[in-house]
């Protein structure tokens, strides 16, 4: 039987939401072992002078806890 834990992370990108997701998952994989899934909880943007300057993604990431 496996036991999973879920953690919430926020990642950002100046390029796109997709890039923010990929950066967040890459970083999570460096600090968490056995990452198995993730889902986007929230999307938001930073707007300056009428232009999007940053894309932010809040995700829940699940990983298997070692015995």
The whole model's pTM is what?
Answer: 0.87
Percentage of the chain exceeding pLDDT 70 = 100
Q: Is residue 46 part of a domain?
A: yes
Whether residue 2 lies inside any domain: the answer is no
Q: Is residue 3 part of a domain?
A: no
Q: What is the mean pLDDT of the chain?
A: 95
**Tokens linked to 34:** 């056995």
Instruction: Supply the range of the domain harboring residue 60.
Output: 8-65
* Count of domains observed in the chain: 1
Name residue, tokens 């967040």: 24
List the CATH number of the domain containing 26.
3.30.1660.10
pLDDT band at 14 (very low <50, low <70, confident <90, very high): very high
- pLDDT value of position 18: 97
Query: What residues have CB less than 8 Å from 12, skipping those under 6 apart?
Result: 20, 23, 54, 55, 56, 57
Q: What is the pLDDT of residue 22?
A: 97
């Amino acid at each position: 039987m496996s036991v999973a834990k879920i953690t919430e992370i926020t990642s950002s990108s100046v390029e796109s939401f997709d890039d923010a997701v990929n950066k967040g998952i890459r970083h999570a994989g460096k600090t968490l072992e056995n990452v198995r899934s993730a889902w986007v909880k929230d999307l938001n943007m930073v707007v300056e002078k009428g232009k999007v300057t940053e894309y932010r993604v809040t995700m829940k990431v699940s990983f298997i806890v070692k015995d």
